[in-house]
A = this chain, B = another copy of it.
């Protein structure tokens, strides 16, 4: 089978490509061709025996989608997006990539014809929801995006459900938790510290904590995120029902929970590297985010996340730090 990943140069895209390359399969089917696209050409994953094509493309160009879809990939994984902050700062760019880019892909699939009906995995976001929130958000909470990014993702979900209902494709939209521990360096995202307060101390580096330890949020590891995408690419979609958008399971935890898990896994010396440095701007943004989701539909459909931050930290040590600390 042929797999197309759009946004393959990003963290999750790279890890999904590597996971497919490693086994050479998706579910129980052999993958013969990987087509990896992003705004910069993705790196081909090592050890894959099939053909790999790496493409630098602009999905904001209407000609891109038909070119990507012409080879009729069996699975299309859409991870590419303008992130929240940039979609808010550049209205046109956010709508062009996140709405038009997605729709052109779905329409390129629809207009292929001849019975073509690939599995489509669309990465959505909890940003489709907006305050006020209940303590735990149920699967039938209303769509109330408070950002242009969240609006664009909500529209993408609605399109994926309608195109699936019409039989043009067989889609699953995944509302991903905040991914923790993100490998690499701190970035400008308001959520960056959630990874930083674990990643930096695990590497012997200091990290700033801009929010109170009581701050609660919703997490899954990069490994869980890859698992969500692979499961969505292979699952039986029969039982999903007409709403193809699923809130992924995750771990609801406070910053205090994160810190105590770090203490258990890496000791007091690691925790001592966390420096409280309250930043009211970050605290205000993060304080408005959802804290907990029921995620019953996704759990019933076989999606799995971590049950503790100890597990999330151990996964980081295994996958990013060679299996042990120092």
Contact = CB atoms under 8 A, between A and B. Distances in A.
Interface of A: 91, 110, 130, 140-146, 148, 151, 154-155, 158-159, 161-162, 165-166, 242-243
A145 B158 contact: yes
A151 B158 contact: yes
A91 to B, nearest CB: 7
A141 B144 contact: no
A301 to B, nearest CB: 17
A179 B242 CA distance: 27
A142 B143 contact: yes
A184 to B, nearest CB: 31
A161 B166 contact: no
B130 A148 contact: no
A143 B146 contact: no
Given A130-B242, A142-B142, A155-B155, 18 more contacts: A91-B166, A140-B141, A141-B142, A142-B143, A143-B143, A144-B242, A144-B243, A145-B158, A145-B161, A145-B162, A146-B165, A146-B242, A148-B166, A151-B158, A151-B159, A151-B162, A155-B158, A158-B158
Contact of A143 (B91, B151, B158, B159): B158
Nearest to A154: B158
A298 B96 CA distance: 33
Contacts of A148: 162, 166
Closest 6 CB pairs between A and B? A151-B162, A140-B142, A142-B142, A143-B143, A155-B155, A151-B158
Contacts of A154: 158
Contacts of A130: 242
Contacts of A165: 146
Contacts of A146: 165, 242
A276 B49 CA distance: 69
Contacts of A159: 151, 155
Contacts of A155: 155, 158-159
19 contacts: A91-B166, A130-B242, A140-B142, A141-B142, A143-B143, A143-B158, A144-B242, A144-B243, A145-B158, A145-B162, A146-B165, A151-B158, A151-B159, A151-B161, A151-B162, A154-B158, A155-B155, A155-B158, A155-B159
